[in-house]
Amino acid sequence: MNLLIELLAFAVAIGVLVVVHEYGHYSVARLCGVKVLRFSIGFGKPLFQWVSPKTGTEWTIAALPLGGYVKMLDERETGGAPIPVEALPHAFNRQSVWRRFAIVVAGPVANFLLAIVLFALVFATGVTEPAAVVAAPAPNTPAALAGFDGGETIVAVRAENAGESERVRSWSDLRWKLLGAAFDHKRVVLSAKDAHGTSDFQLDLRGITEKDVDDDFMSRLGFEPGGGKLTVAGVQPGSAAQKAGLGVGDRLRAINGIPTDNATAFIAYVKSHAGTPVTLQVERGGQAAGKLEDVRIVPQSQRDDATGQQIGRIGAELATQVPSIDVRYGPVESLQLGARRTWDLAVYSVRMFGRMIVGEASLKNLSGPVTIADYAGKSARLGPSAFLSFLALVSISLGVLNLLPIPVLDGGHLLYYLVEAVTGKVVSDRWQLVFQRAGLACIVALSAIALFNDLARLIHF
């Protein structure tokens, strides 16, 4: 059943993205007076064909659904067959350089516009997210140095000595605001509430490099969702947890006197205390519910396969219930936030790709169709908001990818047109052929790496 959901979600995602991208090319081509011969979803043998009696465009659904194309009237692609004189003004190659530029760039632009609309829908219809409550930060992290103790709810952020405060509505909202500040290497002031009132905390992000901006970005800063309940969801037989008497449903309140409400921070503390006794404050579940006890436990020392170092484990499965909030915005604000989120993600994608080129980021960040299908299925099972957000993210990635100055892609053609606009000369067919072969080699290499990463994630090697 899960496989069926993944395949269906993947088909819907790819279908929507390809249609929107190609319709961008199609609509601007029609506005520029260019005759469109075929609008194809997919490649290979046609499964369905229909010719519009009004425009003469052939609409096609082909057998291989991974992509699509818009074929326009072009003297260079007739195989030597002449084009009627009356049709020449409607040929793509007869258009001005700026019209050709507009037609080509319209595909990626359509993907960005789709992302804005999808994000706006998510913001307008509302989504349940973790509240911006912070857990006790790890020592010497930027959050700890800023003075956070854990349990504070961040309500606003502003640049140091400038600008007015921006409201923080949720954990996701906080992450995006800190991400933008980190890219700009700023110091920011976070306003946070606790039991004693509202206080300001200065957070220094000037030392954060682009290499630090990844999926663990918030953890690197010392921020983890807090304010929730950390409970034992399972105990492994023969483990330190079982020997200490931990049971399913027990709530972990503190470790060595340090309050704990976040699994990540708790696990990190246990890992750093291999073979060293620690004391857990536990609120008993089950029949002894509500009773507080101190439990002494010695994390077992094990070798970490990733680092080769000895780390501590107690053999307990943990579950975290963090406070959540329903976030909903008005129509205008939703569009503004959708545009900002799209811009931020597009910039982040370009920077990440640049880091991969210069070796500052791993090529493992590239994903192929298998991973996309997996995430499509997972997001579809989480609900409409998650699936729409996933669709917007992939739409942005598709738009950015197509704008890269690689021949074969839209960006490669845009580069030709910019050269033509500056020099007044069309890039020769000979050089276009050379660049096209080089671009094709790049695309094949990137596709191979993405497919390898998919397989590596699938079989865990």
Inter-CA distances, 219 with 138, 148, 215, 310, Å? 9, 14, 9, 22
Interior angle at CA 377, CA 373 and CA 383, nearest 5: 145
Contact of 452 with 365, CB cutoff 8 Å: no
Cβ atoms within 10 Å of 209's Cβ, excluding its own: 10
d(CA 199, CA 71): 60
The reply to whether 142-221 and 229-322 are identical in fold is yes
Q: What is the pLDDT of residue 306?
A: 65
State the angle between helix axes of 2-31 and 384-403 in degrees (0 to 180), rounded to the nearest 10.
50
Give me 413's structure tokens: 């053609």
| Extents of the domains making up the chain | 142-221, 229-322
Main-chain dihedrals φ then ψ at residue 386, nearest 5 degrees: -65, -40
Give me 397's structure tokens: 């990635």
Q: Give the tens place of pLDDT for each residue, 374-384.
A: 667 777 777 78
Catalytic residue among 6, 22, 152, 224: 22
d(CA 420, CA 284): 74
CATH number of 142-221: 2.30.42.10
Does residue 41 have a pLDDT over 80? yes
CATH number of 229-322: 2.30.42.10
199: β partners: 192
Q: Give the tens place of pLDDT for each residue, 286-340.
A: 555 567 889 999 999 888 776 778 888 999 998 888 888 888 888 998 999 899 8
Contact of 191 with 205, CB cutoff 8 Å: no
d(CA 240, CA 243): 5
Torsion of CA 135, 128, 208, 453, to 10 degrees: 110
DSSP-assigned letter for residue 209: -
Candidates 450, 439, 438; CA nearest to 363 is 450
Most confident option among 24-28, 51-55, 378-382 = 24-28
Name the amino acid, one letter, at 136.
Answer: A
Q: Give the tens place of pLDDT for each residue, 99-145.
A: 999 999 999 999 999 999 999 999 898 878 888 898 888 888 888 88
**Mean pLDDT along residues 348-362:** 73
To the query of whether residue 22 is one of the catalytic residues in this protein, the response is yes
Interior angle at CA 270, CA 266 and CA 275, nearest 5: 165
Q: Give the tens place of pLDDT for each residue, 388-397.
A: 888 998 899 8
Give me 294's structure tokens: 């101190």
DSSP three-state, residue 242:
helix
